[in-house]
Structure 1
């Protein structure tokens, strides 16, 4: 039977979130210690645990069919790979940073300066686009220490919370790009694997939709149903169920989490009572 081969990060910030997404999709993963290849018993999927920096090349060569990887790495490696879905986790920025005593936030500060980075291609493209001439020092790790030891005047690196910059006496001045985990596809994927990928994508989208939405229930007078229905950003129309109390109904809907509190305020002002907000496990359209 054909199997879809997926690469995930062997260790690091993407590993746990990637495996959790697959588990949320109903895929059983039982990998023992130090296993680098695992076959799911309940879905035609083979999981390969690979070093993060190697994954783009494995995709390009067709060794794996798909991979969960940071978009920033695909951009840096300059591989011509299709992104089939943005996954919404492991969000970060690739940013320029300078010693905190430097008061200049402008890009012109870096003119003629030395910049240490693990993302030379991303940085070079950005500098060229902004007509900045700087000397790029490529180092593989501990980029934040470079200004402190006199290697560079600033750095270009991944920023998540900013705590690592702060601990090393640096501050962020310019965001070069924003990144998140994505599902990328090999250009050499076969038809049989494409069909399995469609099934996996169907599950992933159901999980991802649910993470960004909430199920909302409320009670309101029947005279307010039309007004409240206009407030709700629903998929089609809200569900309305009569209550035992004459003239009242229970209205059910789904709300995008980013709009939740603004909508709740409007609902209360429109006369809704007893509002319940419930998490959604899966959401299939």
Structure 2
């Protein structure tokens, strides 16, 4: 019995999907242009699929799990559960109009032509806002539609916003914030669920490690209590005596989002020789 996972065969998700599997200790035998591959050291088969096809494969039970963008699940993946948010390939699904347009509110879309690759997502938004508009489904470069007179507005993925800028468009409404997720087929059986839980354990360890840093510092003993109070460690820091009398070595883990403010406080409290190390895996 093998866990069957689908990942995008090309594009922005492929590299990061393979990277997280590798960090989970899973080696994949994959030749060039191969559409299915086996893992050497984990009971897993990898299917390389078109991103837009993945929800159907999940719903049909052809694959058990997939690494896919939330935006694709929202558009095509009714009934598919998300086991983990993976924290990469973050983007938005947004409405955009020409820069020259004086946009005031969503009611400006009334009666307009909207070009999009996400018709279901846009229609939900319009229905919720009770706005009627004409949708033009485009699978290619959506951003060009207003420039060639095909549409008055667009809805598409926005990452940096540079593509909108190059096409003289501006973002006016965010319909959905998206990132890569681990999605689960509604038809997965119990044996494969057990394998999925093993994989989730590994993924959670990798994601925790990415969010934290291991920090070591030297602290004068008369400042030790103050320094320990500053530290937001998992439970309590490790404190070891140094060879130099009156000093201790303090070891802890700090979330990367709080890192610099904590370091500033530690320095002010008397900590010296602060070392920061990446964490490969973090098992809670």
Q: What is the DSSP-based 3-state SS (H/G/I as helix, E as strand, rest coil) of the residue aligned with 1:42?
A: coil
For the pair 1:169 / 2:141, whether they are aligned, the reply is: no
Distance 2:29 2:161 in 1: 35
**Equivalent residue number for residue 259 of structure 1:** 258
Residue 105 of structure 1: CA displacement?
Answer: 4.6
Q: Give the equivalent residue in structure 1 for 2:24.
A: 25
Distance of aligned partners of 1:104 and 1:166 in 2 relative to their CA distance in 1, 3 Å threshold: same
Tell me the distance in 1 between the aligned counterparts of 2:58 and 2:113.
33
* Structure 1 unmatched runs, 5+: none
Structure 1 residue 244 displacement after superposition: 1.4
Kindly state the Cα deviation for residue 104 of structure 1 after the two structures are TM-superposed: 2.1
Q: Matches of residues 1-285 of structure 1 in structure 2 within 5 Å?
A: 2-285=1-284
Q: In 1, Cα distance between the equivalents of 2:222 and 2:28?
A: 52
CA RMSD of superposed structures (Å):
1.1
Return the offset for 1:130: 2.1
Alignment deviations for residues 167-207 of structure 1 (CA, whole Å, 9 cap, x no partner) = 11111112111000000111111111111111111111111
Residue range with higher mean Cα deviation, 239-248 or 132-141: 132-141
Q: Distance in 1 between matches of 2:35 and 2:108?
A: 45
Q: Is the 8 A contact 2:231 2:262 kept in 1?
A: yes
Paired residues in the alignment total: 284
What CA deviation, in whole Å up to 9, does each residue of 1:232-283 have, x standing for no partner?
1111100111111211111111011111111111111222111111111111
Q: CA 1:103–1:274 in 2, change beyond 3 Å: closer, same or farther?
A: farther
8 A contact 2:70–2:178 mirrored in 1: yes
- The runs of 4+ residues in structure 1 deviating greater than 4 Å are none
Structure 1, 97-106 or 242-251: larger mean CA deviation: 97-106
Q: CA deviation at 1:4?
A: 0.5
- Report the Cα offset of residue 78 of structure 1: 4.1
Q: Could you tell me the TM-score, scaled by structure 1's length? A: 0.97
Distance 1:65 1:78 in 2: 14
Runs of 5+ in structure 2 lacking a partner?
none
Matched position secondary structure for 1:244: coil
Deviations 1:53-96 (A, max 9, x none): 11101111111010000011000114211100000000000011
Please give the secondary structure, in 2, of the residue aligned with 1:59.
Answer: helix
